[in-house]
Structures are given as structure tokens and as C-alpha cells.
Amino acid sequence: MTAAERSRRSVSLLIFVLSATCWGLLLVKPAAVKHCFVTGGELSRTSLEILLLTNPISPMLAGWGLMVLAMMLPKLIIPIQYTCERSFKNRRFRAASLFVLGYMGVWMVVGALMIGGILGLTLFMPGSYTPAIVVGIIAAIWQFSPVKQQCLNRGHNHKALAAFGRAADYDSVLFGFEHAVWCVGSNWVLMLFPVLLPGGNNFVMLAVTLLMLSEHMEAPRTPRWRINLSSKLIRILFAQTSIRLARS
């Protein structure tokens, strides 16, 4: 195994460990993390103050950040590897961290907007499945749209990165920012759907994560309307399992 291969494997392993840690924190739900799911019970339309007291914004944003890291980190393996490979050894951790910072900055802004919308929906339709059903329909339409495919294609673009000084830092942050913009464009509605569900959120989050990872692994395609049920991840897992069983 070459040094480059060892480096890629180390990056992949670290990212999977971090993603698993974030999943664990979401499932355990520590006191500092309210998660991004709003609980409102039978609140009336004038109960905004009560809703904000029972759902503080800061813990919800922390929960949103954990949710994004848990679901999106596996998708970032290739761009983070790319960032590390184009940085000097003593700058690799810094470059990767700046990339993730730029990436998360975009998603946190999107999360703040989504949480505001979810709070409003909770006031008017507490405990209702209607918002999730409407968003699910939008997600199905968006999933097969040429706009989503265009965003997925752009997500495969990897810009040139400077090697020295502030230019290198700036390029790493900008690369993360640009990558997040195209991720938001392709996945915003998929990320919103599990948040709106009154129950079964974690199971749906896992299913959405696998879908997003699978479609990210597909090669770029011509943007057009098509039924696109990405199955590359399933095919890879099936092939790897068959190979291991054949060897045993």
C-alpha cells in the first residue's frame, strides 16, 4: 500500500468515526442538544412564547449541526481527501478543518432558516403530519428534476487550491462553501423531511443519509427529468459482501 493510499484510508476512517460519534450524540440526546425536532404538543396559535421556552434556539441549532455532520460527513470523504492531497503535510489538518468550517457555515445558515419555518408550522399545525407529507411530495418532484441533477454534477467539481499562506486558507474555506451550496441545492428538501415528522425521525434520517450517499457516488449525468433511484451504494455493498463470502 502506497503512502497516498494509507492517507486516503486514514481520512476515510477518521470521517466515519466522527460521523458515528455524531449519530451517537443524536441518539443519546445530551442536555446541551435539543435536536432539531420541535415539540409543541397542543399549543395554540398564540403560544409562541411557550414554544420558544420549550424549544430553545441554541440547543436546536446545535442539534441541527450534529445532524448535518452525522448525515453529510460520509459524503465529504472525497473532497476532504482532495483537500489533504493538495496541501503540504503540515497543513493538511488545517486545510481540512477550514473546508469543513466553510461547508458547515452554509448549512448552519440554512438550518436557522429551516428552524424558523418549523417553529411557525408547529404553532399552526402542532403534531400534524401534513407539513411532512407536503415536503415529501416536493422531495419526490425535486429528486427527479434537472435542477437537482445539475447541483449533483456541480458537487463533483473540485477547484484548484493554493498551497501557501492565506491564499491556501481562503481556497479551503471557499471550496467548502461552494461544495455546501451545491449540497444544499440537491439535498435541502431531503434534510427538511425528517425534521418535520412527528415521529420516526432517526430511522428516516438514516434512510435519507444512505440515499444521499448513494446518489453522490453516481457519475455526473445530463440534467433532465428522470426517475432516479440511486442504488450504487447498495450494489457496492452487495458486491463486497459476495466477494467476502466467496473468500471464506
**What are the 10-residue block averages of pLDDT along the chain, 248 residues in total?**
85 95 84 55 56 74 92 96 94 96 97 88 80 92 94 93 94 97 95 86 89 89 84 66 72
Query: Which residue range is the domain that position 102 belongs to?
Result: 3-247
DSSP state of 220: P
Q: Which of 219, 237, 190, 178 is nearest to 68 (CA)?
A: 190
Beta-carbon contacts of residue 225 (< 8 Å; ≥ 6 apart): 144, 145, 146
What's the domain count of the chain?
A: 1
What torsion, rounded to 10 degrees, do the Cα atoms 222, 180, 238, 220 define?
10
Cell numbers placing 54: 420549550
Q: Which of 245, 106, 131 is nearest to 184 (CA)?
A: 106
pLDDT at 49: 67
pLDDT at 35: 56
Write down the number of H helices and E strands in the chain: 10, 0
The gap between the terminal CA atoms of the chain, to the nearest Å, is: 23
